[in-house]
Structure 1
Amino acid sequence: MTDIRMTTGGAGVTRAWTVRGGQSGEREQAALAEGRAIVGWEELGDLSGCASADDVGELLAKAYPEEAAGTIDNWKRQLWRFITMDIGDYVVMPRKQLPVVAIGTLTGLYEYLPQAAPGFRHVRSTDWLRPSVERAAIRGDLRDSMGAFLTVSELSRRDAAMRVQVLAETGSDPGYVGAVEPPSGPAELVHDVQTSGTRQLTARDLIGLWGWQRRAAEVIDLVDHELASHGLRVDPHFTEVQLDRLVTVSAKETAEAEDAPGAVPGGGMRAPGEKPDVERPTDRDLTWRIGSLPFVREVITVRVGDPLSHAVTPMIEHDFSQLPVVDHNSVLRGVITWEGIARAQFGGGTATVSQAMDPHPETAREQEELFRRIDRIQKSGFTIIVDGENAVIGILTSTDLAGQLKARIEPFTLLEELERRMRRLTRHFSMDELPQKIRKTRELGRQFTLGQYAFLLEDPHCWAKLDWPYDQQHMLSRLRIVTKYRNELAHWAVDAPAEDAEALAATARLLKLLKIVDLDPAA
């Protein structure tokens, strides 16, 4: 076998990796003090002779004979990443108990230290350039990719390596502007996770891998089942965020062996040889979350030390009732309202943002239950949406809530009125005049479904009796579009029905035509 210490991975391109300091952060202090990146797997011996991930897998299988094949496969990929990372690559170590990450560069090849304490023997020499970069300084997409449950994963998309380099140099994340190219299908998603450890994509693109565009109940169950069958998890869950928000997919079986074979995230234990549970659709939390609603993400903010004019100008210009007050990392420090501005200006002199702000604004996170928050949003008029680092990511106002209520109710009210008018316009048909296909429905005393009215409109005799001043084929085409829309709405969906704007507009236009032949004076 080739001695891994004689190679460096050979990629020739600087990359960035997350290497965690243990499930409880137990390796973090030693890593920083000794200038090393360290991983666990204390039952595992020297990996220097391994020439491939499969070689690592063989040693893992011998060291942990009671572990499932999927666990061994996951572990071998993580360890192979660790021992083949290039010298000069960037390493990020999220601190478990602190709101910071450590960033360094690899300076040495893989080493096995047999004299070190168990769990501290697999190491890479590392120059920790910045041992305490604030997590809030890192943009949400990059921070989420660092948040994977894997011990070792690659930060490979959205200019991640370059951004980590800038973070190491300046302590600030330049961010990334642009779309995320989704995998071509479920197989490529699995491949990407196996290769890098994680894969980011939007919630819309995730369900699109299985051919869906809206998150109806059966779609959610299908995607949940498919992800579980491939051993994948998604964080946050794709129902908890807006359709175009990023989610991070990683392997469900991610924990390294820390204290004993079979250790799993959170300190639980699997029985020897037991496979991880596959999450059933019924296990999923079905609660509506703040993140299920669209809210303003391009939030105008001001700094604590700014002159008050920096707040007044945009508030007047955009007709805002409030502005979040943040620090240099967009961490929320308070909120400015017109009431606060008035108080500050009564004091005379040159007022500042700090004098006018309320330091205790109404806040919420995307994962919080929506309906528990509605009363408070209505009372204050708004809530500022923050992430886990208390950085501002959006704002939701009572006006936004009213708009969402309209978006979710309007399609149903239009369809209900449309069906009632169709019923009234066609009730004068006798049983003998009805097309054979729908007579049985009338005989049973039932109302026609929206789709059944198409049989009436396409029948020459019925169309002639209706005597509508419209093109028959146009009306049929419009009715079929609306019927399809109606059937889709019959299935519960996270996304507002109004998202299908074309079908909603078609419904409104058809209703307008019916109002005229129904002699509605308001039409």
Structure 2
Amino acid sequence: MRAWVVRAGREGEREKTALDGGLAIAGWTGLDDLTDVESREDIRALVEAVYPGEGARVISNWTGQLLRFRHEIQVGDLVVLPLTSWDLAIGRVTGAYAYRADAPDSMRHVRPVEWLVRDVPREAFRQDLLDSLGSLLTVFELSRYNGAERIAEIVATGTDPGRPDADRFAAALTSPSKLYEAVSKRGPGTPLKISIRDFLAVWNAPRRYSAVVDQIEQDLSLLGLTTTPPFTEGSLDSEIAVLPLGDEPDRERTSAITRSGIQVEEETEQQPVAYLVSNLDAANRLPESVRVGDNLRSAMTLMILRKYAQLPVLDEDGRLRGVVSWESIGRARMSNPSAELAEATAKAREADRSDDLLDWIGQIYQTGYVFVRDHDLKVCGLVTAADLAVQFRTRVRPFVLIEEIEQRLRRVVDAHIPLEAIKDAVKGVVSARRLDSIRSAADISFGAYKHLLKNEENWRRLGWTADRDLFLSWLEECRHFRNSLMHFSPDPLTDDQLAPAQGMLDLLRSLDPHS
């Protein structure tokens, strides 16, 4: 069994017919019956004949979608239909492809479907599966994250069981109240430990936006719970303990936290969400090291084997006593050819995992690295200049995608749509004063393009052959994505979360390759 998404048009124009008629419907107006078309090459030939103005990339993409709809979707497979109400319908395919010659042109290619549920809220999907629904395609498979089995479980129980590789216990924590129950059932010696990623999933949150952090902190306060380290620190895969904070003392006059033996960090005046050193994965991976008293030969051998430029020198408690590097070895051996580890150990800087990352950028670029210590003053990580490069590439990429999308939209609109038409399109959504200041597409907001291109004449002026409703709907998803970037989060975006922007940019590049 497989699971597929078959959209009903981005404006939902095929939605009612699909639900009322028990159908999954593909569009592609003008395309004739595919019943006797067996191969990909034959489908491609038909698509090329019907849409002669399209380039090879568009033809190949449409061919693939039609091949899925005609041949790959099988009886018994599940179909997800995103609805204009923002809910989703889920059905099971009950028959082969059919062509309805007497139906409207955009409703002829169908697969019979038994709709099992028609009002599944998006909240029923965990974020990774919900992100997988984001695609510009009309027909595509939910192949990642055990999608088919999870869709079937949502039909049966109304609940998404989560990724198969996720912690099964964590997947059962589907609400703050269930988290409280899990914590309260545990004894003092067995605190609930969970990754920050799975902890956020309790609130169905993929990242730590400020609003999400505020909500979680309010809920924890009401439930009498706390986390250590704070859930605002560390990477998404770092582990935290969730502890009872509000229970009364026992007969020995001690709290549950004291009985657990876990040291809870005191609250600071630091902002609850920031780019902390601990947000880097490298800050939470204990680096290989040598110990005080080891011989220099061991350190050099390890550095060659691992291609390390430096190693921390730790004492028996795991605390930093210095660093040995090829530079420090060279300096020591120049004055004493038989120098050992103690003479080749140089001073090293340590960042606390709770420090603001921005405060350490200069030091890391200057020396190439900084060691990271935890709240017990033990080394817990090593951040290098390469780690910073990866971090900021990840951060910058979403903004670069949105910037190129906006630049391409501005250029094509200015080139093809008169200024008065631009003003007319946004007249009802901006103030009169703002309207007078518009001199080009650069003066309208990202959201205004929806109103501008909804006008049939303006769309015609662009000369694009893409589906306008699909384009506008995807543009709206990009607007939501763009707005979400304005809400600070220290956590990186996944490829699935980037899909709306990347898909729109790919389409714009295909529609206007020379801009």
Shift of 1:226: 0.6
- 1:97 corresponds to: none
- 2:239 corresponds to: 246
Q: Which of 497, 501, 506 is residue 495 of structure 2 equivalent to?
A: 501
Which amino acid is the alignment partner of residue 371 of structure 1?
A: L
SS in 2 for 1:239: coil
Shift of 1:476: 4.2
Note the alpha carbon deviations across 1:38-68, whole angstroms, 9 max, x for none: xxxxxxxxxxxxxxxxxxxxxxxxxxxxxxx
- Distance in 2 between the 1:179 and 1:330 partners? 30
- Distance in 2 between the 1:284 and 1:205 partners? 23
Q: Compared with structure 1, are the counterparts of its residues 514 and 188 closer, same or farther at alpha carbon in structure 2 (3 Å cutoff)?
A: closer
Which amino acid is the alignment partner of residue 184 of structure 2?
A: Q
- Distance in 1 between the 2:192 and 2:256 partners? 21
- 1:15 corresponds to: none
1:151-300 residue pairs with structure 2 within 5 A? 181-182=169-170, 183-196=173-186, 197=188, 198-253=191-246, 256=249, 285-286=272-273, 288-295=275-282, 297=285, 299-300=287-288
My pick for the range that moved more, 232-241 or 408-417, is 408-417
Contact 2:313 2:321 (8 Å CA) reproduced: yes
- Distance in 2 between the 1:230 and 1:437 partners? 50
Contact 1:366 1:387 (8 Å CA) reproduced: yes
Do structure 1's residue 315 and structure 2's residue 308 form an aligned pair? Answer: no
Q: Compared with structure 1, are the counterparts of its residues 262 and 300 closer, same or farther at alpha carbon in structure 2 (3 Å cutoff)?
A: closer
SS in 2 for 1:441: coil
- Distance in 1 between the 2:348 and 2:247 partners? 38
Q: Compared with structure 1, are the counterparts of its residues 328 and 518 closer, same or farther at alpha carbon in structure 2 (3 Å cutoff)?
A: same
My pick for the range that moved more, 465-474 or 511-520, is 511-520
Q: Compared with structure 1, are the counterparts of its residues 199 and 411 closer, same or farther at alpha carbon in structure 2 (3 Å cutoff)?
A: same
- Distance in 1 between the 2:326 and 2:483 partners? 47
- Distance in 2 between the 1:449 and 1:245 partners? 39
- Distance in 2 between the 1:251 and 1:265 partners? 7
SS in 2 for 1:371: helix
Note the alpha carbon deviations across 1:238-275, whole angstroms, 9 max, x for none: 1122111111221223573799x999999xxxxxxxxx
1:103-502 residue pairs with structure 2 within 5 A? 181-182=169-170, 183-196=173-186, 197=188, 198-253=191-246, 256=249, 285-286=272-273, 288-295=275-282, 297=285, 299-316=287-304, 318-327=306-315, 330-346=318-334, 352-358=340-346, 360-427=347-414, 428-430=416-418, 438-441=426-429, 444-445=434-435, 447-457=443-453, 459-468=455-464, 470=466, 472=468, 475-476=471-472, 478-496=474-492, 499-502=493-496
Shift of 1:223: 0.5
My pick for the range that moved more, 449-458 or 382-391, is 449-458
Q: Compared with structure 1, are the counterparts of its residues 245 and 423 closer, same or farther at alpha carbon in structure 2 (3 Å cutoff)?
A: same
Contact 1:362 1:380 (8 Å CA) reproduced: no
Which amino acid is the alignment partner of residue 450 of structure 1?
A: F
Note the alpha carbon deviations across 1:196-240, whole angstroms, 9 max, x for none: 243221222222111111111111111110111111112221112
Q: Compared with structure 1, are the counterparts of its residues 222 and 465 closer, same or farther at alpha carbon in structure 2 (3 Å cutoff)?
A: same
Note the alpha carbon deviations across 1:404-427, whole angstroms, 9 max, x for none: 233223322331332233123213
SS in 2 for 1:300: coil
- Distance in 1 between the 2:278 and 2:270 partners? 20
Note the alpha carbon deviations across 1:278-309, whole angstroms, 9 max, x for none: xx9x9964554321333251522233344434
Which amino acid is the alignment partner of residue 333 of structure 2?
A: Q
Shift of 1:508: 4.4
Contact 1:435 1:455 (8 Å CA) reproduced: no
Taking only aligned residues, the RMSD between alpha carbons, in angstroms, comes to: 4.0
- Distance in 1 between the 2:514 and 2:275 partners? 39
Q: Compared with structure 1, are the counterparts of its residues 480 and 312 closer, same or farther at alpha carbon in structure 2 (3 Å cutoff)?
A: farther
Shift of 1:455: 4.4
Q: Compared with structure 1, are the counterparts of its residues 388 and 216 closer, same or farther at alpha carbon in structure 2 (3 Å cutoff)?
A: closer
Note the alpha carbon deviations across 1:431-450, whole angstroms, 9 max, x for none: 77569874423664264433
My pick for the range that moved more, 224-233 or 299-308, is 299-308
The alignment of Structure 1 onto Structure 2 pairs a total of residues equal to 328
Note the alpha carbon deviations across 1:63-105, whole angstroms, 9 max, x for none: xxxxxxxxxxxxxxxxxxxxxxxxxxxxxxxxxxxxxxxxxxx
Contact 2:373 2:379 (8 Å CA) reproduced: yes
- 2:32 corresponds to: none
- State the percentage of identical aligned residues: 29
Shift of 1:342: 0.9
My pick for the range that moved more, 427-436 or 206-215, is 427-436
Q: Compared with structure 1, are the counterparts of its residues 347 and 258 closer, same or farther at alpha carbon in structure 2 (3 Å cutoff)?
A: farther
SS in 1 for 2:428: helix
- Distance in 2 between the 1:505 and 1:212 partners? 18
Shift of 1:315: 3.3
- Distance in 2 between the 1:212 and 1:234 partners? 17
My pick for the range that moved more, 429-438 or 301-310, is 429-438
SS in 2 for 1:396: strand
Q: Which runs of 5+ in 1 are unaligned?
A: 1-177, 267-279
TM-score of the superposed pair, with normalisation by structure 2: 0.54
